[in-house]
Amino acid sequence: MIYFSSLPYKYSNIYIVKEDEFVKRIFLNDDSFLSFHENYNPKRSDLILKDEVMQLTEYIDGKRKKFDIHYELLGTKFQKIVWEKILGIRYSEAKRYSDIAKEIDRPLATRAVGNACRKNALPIIVPCHRVISTKGLGGFFGQDNEFSKIKAYLINLERTS
């Protein structure tokens, strides 16, 4: 069974999706979750996701810097390598896409690192918002203006907490 819960934040709602004891997806706005909901019809369960909602609420409130959430990374081998490296970026710090590419011994794979960030199903938990471009913030789930604002919000949240 697939379950979800949500919590409000500045831009919309954060939706957390859990299946087989693992958080598998997090959505940062209503539109992206509604598409998922139409396809998979998850059941709302605030009780099953109580701890995850609490941890994400604490993060949004600036009171949590690390998570103790059981999750499963859904992606290709390359994407999982990138995400594992990104998990090592400390709270309130940032690295460039090119830094991650070099750290995984693929120095020419800067764009592929950006694409892996765009495919990240667990934003905030796997903090792709901490990966920036040499020319500014860079994208966040593509170049959508709403998601760029969310990326800036998350970076600023961490820097001021």
Q: Kindly list the catalytic residues.
A: 128
Cα–Cα separations (whole angstroms), residue 125 to 87, 106, 136, 157: 8, 24, 22, 15
Q: Where are the beta strands (DSSP E) in 51-148?
A: 95-96, 131-132
Would you state the structure tokens that stand for residue 103, as one six-digit string? 């750290």
Q: Which two tokens stand for residue 75?
A: 């992606």
Q: How far is CA 52 from CA 55, 81, 121, in A?
A: 5, 24, 15
What is the CB neighbour count within 10 angstroms for residue 71? 18
Which whole-number Å values give the CA distances from 108 to 49, 120, 143, in the listed order?
A: 40, 20, 21
